[in-house]
Structure 1
Amino acid sequence: MKRVYFRDNVDTREFFDAYMKGNGYYSLFDILFPSRWDDKQPTFYRIDKTYEFGQAYRLLKDLAGKGCIVSDPSVYSKYRYSLGNLASELRDMKEYSIWNLSLVDLQEEYVVFPLFMDSTHTLEVSNSFLGVSKYSKHPERVLMFIEWLHYSQEAYNLFMYGIKDRNYILEDGKIAFTSEIKRNYYIANWLGAPYFADMRYERNFAFLPDNFNQLYIDAAFKNVKPVRDEMARLGLNPELSKETSDRIDKEYEKVSDIRNAMMDILYDFYSRIDQGNFDTTPEMLTAELDGTGAEKYLDFLEYWAELRMK
């Protein structure tokens, strides 16, 4: 039988990030110097000097050597599915929301299995804002619309999907678009629709599990811990006075160039691996980072923690 590899599309930066998080690390202040959940006091580990970073590199190199990874993720296209030369792919769950699906024309050929890590990781919070122009004659109507949109499944269906049996059909509660909608489907992603997405009301495609919405919500809160709670456990004050904040900002200005140089080197390392080039080893990366004055940046992080101690 012909052997089939996954030929996965791997983003190197995200791979290393997930591997580190899966092995007990998290970012207390900076991804260059992660901390560990089992630390008893604020501690910063330079990422390239950790055992796990080297392990991630060797694992990724081994997978690439076996042909399990596409050589250049930047040329990845959804058409790899239709060509039949992609058996499976790991993607961020958020990409499978109703407005970010790349498999809309391949509902019968691929299925999605939600996966998430069992290790503890930080709860990431991001805010979305809705701007109302000062020239709006009836700004209150904007808020009325938002309230209407999130009030019921019927309202959400109408705004996000269109008119039932004209723009879309429902089969056992799952959605399928008409040909006309499919042609314009990707344009919608640029028109602000993701801003209004509400997982309570989003309809699933046929290839998604019946309980996908609940799996998505559960995964978002599984084994997560807010950074503020972790800071409190370590005896760090999440709130700072203006005076202390100014002192930190002043010290950061002295080392910001060092951090920028370190990030450039690290991302260049990731970029080369993205292109299938593993010539730069973690040891070589460490030598490059040593030349930036990295120890001065570590001194700043320890100063940051000292000022936050309660």
Structure 2
Amino acid sequence: MVQTPGLTPNAPPSPLLPPGVLRKLLGLLAVLGLVLGGGFYWQLRQQALEQRLLRTFQATPTLAVYRLNPQVRWGRVRLSGTVPSPSLKAQAEQIAQQALPRHRLESKIEIPTVPPPPEVIQDNAQQAAATLSQTLNLELATTYNSAQQQLVVQTPDLSATQLQQVTQVMEQITGVRSLVIKVASNRHPLEQRIYFETNETQIASSDRQGALLQLAQYLKANPNITLNVIGHTDQSGGERYNQQLARQRATVIQQLLVAQGIAANRLFIRGDTNLPPNVLVNDPMNKSRCVRFEVVNLEE
């Protein structure tokens, strides 16, 4: 067997790196992985907090129309955007502090001194109407008159509480100096419903001047029509209480119609604890708190 000088047969190959250097390199890679992984985790967490805060703003009717931008960075939350009044700025800041109490708040929200262009005001009003329609289960349409700086809101149905909420949101829109809310239903007078607040038997003034007045005028023009006046409640109370409340609501509507010149013997009252027609169990409860009308006798 011939051996080459200087070489040992079957000798293991030399390692590329000494063992000590290799261990240090692996340790460095492990630390780097932890740092990068931790940074990625915190980045995802900060983004999740930003999205949660943004959803809270969007779910608040008075703020949903405005573009607020929350940024969460290492124990701080920074708010930027534009709102029309100091009260809305304070509301946004309070929401951020309540949502992220351990974060330091930096508010960069601005309050403009110059009204935006009319098309921006109209867009803001439409966005506010869309948000309110969804949260309050309403049908709202808006028209902005730039010459008078007047915003007109039209809706077929509106309770007293809903009227207050719609007014609060719409009056805050920058560039709106006057607000007009019109409750005008396209429904037939007999198809309209009068809505009530929880446990209440009194109706809003808008219903007195709107749906109820239209119904009284229709009954005067059609003296042969006799109605069942049927009161309803939501499902939150007991059967006996709901029956009494439903009948009381029907009685109130009967009395109001009598006060407008409709004979009491044309209005038969009834309380019904079942859901009104076309109202489902999963629908908002305010749709159940109503009085509706059925024709008893119609003579041609």
TM-score bracket for the superposition, by shorter chain length: under 0.3
Give TM-score, length-normalised by structure 2.
0.22
Which structure has the larger Rg? 2
Give TM-score, length-normalised by structure 1.
0.21
